[in-house]
Amino acid sequence: MTILVTGAAGFIGFHTAKRLVEEGKRVIGLDNFSPYYSVSLKRDRARELQKYGILVCEASVQDGIRQLVEKEQVTHIIHLAAQAGVRYSLQDPDAYIRSNIDGFLSVLETVRTHPYIVTVWASSSSVYGLNPTTPFSEKDRTDSPANLYGATKKANEAMAHAYHHLFGVVLRGLRFFTVYGPWGRPDMAYFLFADKIMKGETIEVYGQGRFRRDFTYIDDIVDGICGALEGSNPYAIYNLGNSHPEKVEELIACLESSLGKKAKIKFVDGPPGEIDETWADLQLSKQELGFSPKISLSEGINRFCDWYCSYYC
C-alpha cells in the first residue's frame, strides 16, 4: 500500500500522514504551500513529517498528481488539498475554483486512468448550507449552499458521483465538521481566539453568540479517514463530526481555562455565508466506518493550548 496524501503540509493532511506511517504504511505527500495562511507553519509541518520519512513534494495537484501516482506506484489517494474557509471566499472566489474544482478534477482524471486506486477525499459540513433540519444527515438535501466554499464542495460530490457512475472508480467522500487541534489552521476561530487571549486583545464573537459548532478533534477525524481508507463501499459520502454542537462561548471558556487568562469579548453580527449551527448525524459513519469520536471539547482544547504555548510562547 502506497498512499498519496494531497495537502500533506496542511492541518488535517499533516496528522493523517503521520498516523499512516505510524501504522506501517508508505506515504507520499503533495502540497503547494499556498500563502492563504502562514507558510512558515506549513514548512514546519513538512519538516516534522520528514522525521517520519515522509517527503512532501511541492506542487499543485494539477501539476503534480499524475506524475507522482505513476512514479511512486500509488495505490491509494487521500485528497485533502483544498482552498478552505468561508469568509475568504468573499475575497478571492477564483482561488476556490482553481483549488477545489480544477484540483479535484485532476484527481478524478488521474484515477479514471488508474482505476485500481482507492480515493478518499474531503468534503465539508458546509454542503448542508441552509438545510434547516438537525442533526445533519447524509440523506438530507444539499442544494442550498450558503457560501461559495460550500458550493464548491457540493460540486465535488456531484463530480465524484458522476465519475464513479461512468468509470466505476472507488471514491469515498468525508464531510468534516469544524476540525481543531494542535498544528491547526490559524484562520479558525479557536486559534484566533487563543492568539487574542494571549495578547490581551478583544475577541469578536459573530452572530451575537447564537452560533453553535460541532467541534471535532483532529485525532477523531484521522480515525474516520483511516476507517474510510479501509472501507468496502465503492462510493459513499460520510459525516465525520463530534455530534455534540457547542456554543462559541463554551469554546472561549475552555480556552480561558487552558490558557489561564480571561478573554475580552465583543459580540458582533455574523458575516454573510455563516450558518447558525452544525451538527453531524453519525449513524452511517458509525455503521460503515466504525467511527466513534472520543475527545471532548475541553480535553481537545487543552491539547491544542499545550501545543500553542510550546510553539509560540
- Residue 176 phi, psi (nearest 5): -80, 145
Measure the CA–CA gap between 125 and 146, rounded to whole angstroms: 11
The whole-angstrom distance between residue 313's C-alpha and the CA centroid of its chain comes to 26
Cβ distance 198 to 262 under 8 Å?
Answer: no
Lookup: cell for 4: 498519496
For helices 148-167 and 103-113, give the axis angle rounded to 10 degrees.
Answer: 10
Cβ distance 30 to 9 under 8 Å?
Answer: no
Identify whether 128 is a catalytic site residue. no
Measure the CA–CA gap between 160 and 183, rounded to whole angstroms: 29
Q: 3-state DSSP call for residue 141?
A: coil
Q: Choosing from 36, 128, 149, 163, which is the catalytic residue? A: 149
What distances in angstroms separate CA 296 from CA 77, 128, 192, 249, one per listed residue? 30, 24, 20, 15
Lookup: cell for 88: 475568504
Looking at the annotation, which residues are catalytic? 149
